[in-house]
Amino acid sequence: MSEKSYTAAEVAAHNTEGDCWVIIGDDVYDVTEFLPDHPGGKKAILLFAGKDATEEFDMLHERRVIKKYAPKAHLGKLAKFYITSCINFDYIRLVFKFVSNVGVHRKSA
């Protein structure tokens, strides 16, 4: 059975002290129950509630501390297709904007 995956949009919906998910690497974690136990204080985590905390996490911790201190927090993987679809959407939006501004189908005078 494959592991559950979540989009960045799904993670973003869990952005409060009472429902706090974060992305670290390719993994999604529900760190709600860990907030009161975080040695750096819950505010350090809440800054990244519903967001990708990889860069900041890696500056301060080794990944293995997650399994040690919050073993039940892992929910699944970050869905890879979401990243691709964001890039495609941005590309389509830029093309549409360009075509709208240039007027590719204008009638000549």
Domain containing 97 — which CATH number? 3.10.120.10
Predicted local confidence at residue 82, as pLDDT: 44
From first CA to last CA, the distance across the chain in angstroms is 63
pLDDT at 81 over 90: no
pLDDT in tens, 10-60: 999 999 999 999 999 999 999 999 999 999 999 999 999 999 999 999 999
In a domain, 73, yes or no: yes
Q: Which domain holds residue 16?
A: 5-102
Predicted local confidence at residue 98, as pLDDT: 74
Number of domains within the chain: 1
Query: Are residues 24 and 66 in contact, defined by beta-carbon separation less than 8 angstroms?
Result: yes
Give the pLDDT band (50/70/90) at residue 107: low
pLDDT at 88 over 90: no
pLDDT at 109 over 60: no
In a domain, 69, yes or no: yes
* Distance (Å, whole) CA 29 – CA 74: 5
In a domain, 109, yes or no: no
Predicted local confidence at residue 58, as pLDDT: 94
Mean pLDDT computed over every residue of the chain: 85
Question: How, if at all, do strands 27-30 and 74-78 pair?
Answer: antiparallel
pTM of this structure: 0.71
Predicted local confidence at residue 3, as pLDDT: 85
